[in-house]
Structure 1
Amino acid sequence: MFFNGWENIYRTIIIGILSYVLLILILRMFGKRTLSKMNAFDLVVTVALGSILATILLNKNVALAEGFTAIAVLIVLQYAVAWTAVRSEIISNIIKSSPVLLFYNNEFLHAAMKKERIEEKEIWQAARNQGVSSMHQVEAVVLESDGTVSVITTSNDKDHSTMENVKDPKHS
């Protein structure tokens, strides 16, 4: 129960080192976007890679070549979908969510907040995390496509607004 012999320990060490090296190589080959925190799709790929790596390390019935093939297939599919999404708005809309406005011009947008399951206290917390002492300093609060909450403070420069691609639930 506590120890099954040195063979399993040696296997875990060797497979761990080899799979780590192979994973680093393939991730470098396919770029930073492979493990980015861009959207739910990327999160699923990241979790799946972790699961495959754990299976390779701990399951004697899975050979390193099989595990590496599974990792390679997953990364190639993720790369292909991300590549296609950059070139096709339809695919991009299927796999990525749009940022959503939660607070704008001193007004909480309760319909959007309810739809996204966000409470006022979470918006206040995001503002505090950004060092904002009053919501009067905030132009907008946006739920980003990766699930983070962005707080945009008021600015006089409307020509270069970061609010350009944010979905306003009042005008949808």
Structure 2
Amino acid sequence: MNPIMHTIVVGILSYVALIIVLRVSGKRTLSKWNAFDFVTTIALGSILATALTSTQVSLAQSVTAFIVIVLLQFVITFTSVRSRGVLKLIKSQPTLLLFKGQYCDDAMQRERVVKAEILAAVRERGMADIEQVHAVVLETDGAFSVIASAGEYDSVLEGVEGVSSR
């Protein structure tokens, strides 16, 4: 088979196989990204690119590689639900960036976040004054959560780095 035809046939079949593997693997594979999910996605993309461009890699090898990567992700996420150590290894902790209108400068510097990014998240929430904000948290996927008002116990901030010191 000539290289162009190989790319077309293997590309279509690999793409279909990847979609099937991702659908079977569940929603977690396509969830918002943390570093672990990013690596998995890059690996899957690399496998697909190799399948498309290399005549020396068979379709069976590519599909096997897809399955191995998704199975590894499943095993690690399955284990992380049951082991605090594995969870800490693959998932970072959310970080408090602003609390009761006051910036957490040390946390902002450590997470490489500037005030403008926090203000943008607050504006996105439709708030006009930083004093209205109870907390801003940098989540494990890189998103900002803006909490407008406090409850009696701040239970939504449980597990957020920097909360216990407040």
Aligned to 1:165: 159
Shift of 1:167: 1.7
Asked if structure 1 preserves the Cα contact closer than 8 Å seen for 2:136 and 2:147, the reply is yes
Task: From 82, 91, 97, give the equivalent of 1:87.
Answer: 82
Q: Distance in 2 between the 1:116 and 1:65 partners?
A: 42
Task: From 97, 102, 110, give the equivalent of 2:97.
Answer: 102
Aligned to 2:109: 114
Aligned to 1:145: 140
Q: Write out per-residue CA displacement over residues 52-100 of structure 1, whole angstroms, 9 at most, x where no aligned residue.
A: 1111111112111111111111111011000000111111011110100
Number of residue pairs matched? 166
Structure 1 residues 160-169 or 97-106, which shifts more? 160-169
Task: From 131, 143, 149, give the equivalent of 1:154.
Answer: 149
Pairwise mapping of residues 1-172 of structure 1 onto structure 2 (< 5 A)? 7-155=2-150, 157-158=151-152, 161-168=155-162, 171=165
Query: In angstroms, what is the RMSD of aligned CA positions?
Result: 1.9
SS at match of 2:2: helix
Q: Distance in 2 between the 1:117 and 1:104 partners?
A: 17
Asked if structure 1 preserves the Cα contact closer than 8 Å seen for 2:157 and 2:163, the reply is no
Asked if structure 2 preserves the Cα contact closer than 8 Å seen for 1:41 and 1:96, the reply is yes
TM (normalized to structure 1)?
A: 0.88
Shift of 1:160: 7.2
Q: Distance in 2 between the 1:117 and 1:170 partners?
A: 21
Q: Distance in 1 between the 2:34 and 2:92 partners?
A: 7
TM (normalized to structure 2)?
A: 0.91
Q: Distance in 2 between the 1:166 and 1:82 partners?
A: 20
Q: Write out per-residue CA displacement over residues 19-52 of structure 1, whole angstroms, 9 at most, x where no aligned residue.
A: 1111111112111111322411011101111111
Aligned to 1:3: none
Q: Distance in 1 between the 2:78 and 2:33 partners?
A: 14
Asked if structure 2 preserves the Cα contact closer than 8 Å seen for 1:37 and 1:43, the reply is no
Q: Distance in 2 between the 1:141 and 1:84 partners?
A: 30
Q: Distance in 1 between the 2:43 and 2:32 partners?
A: 14
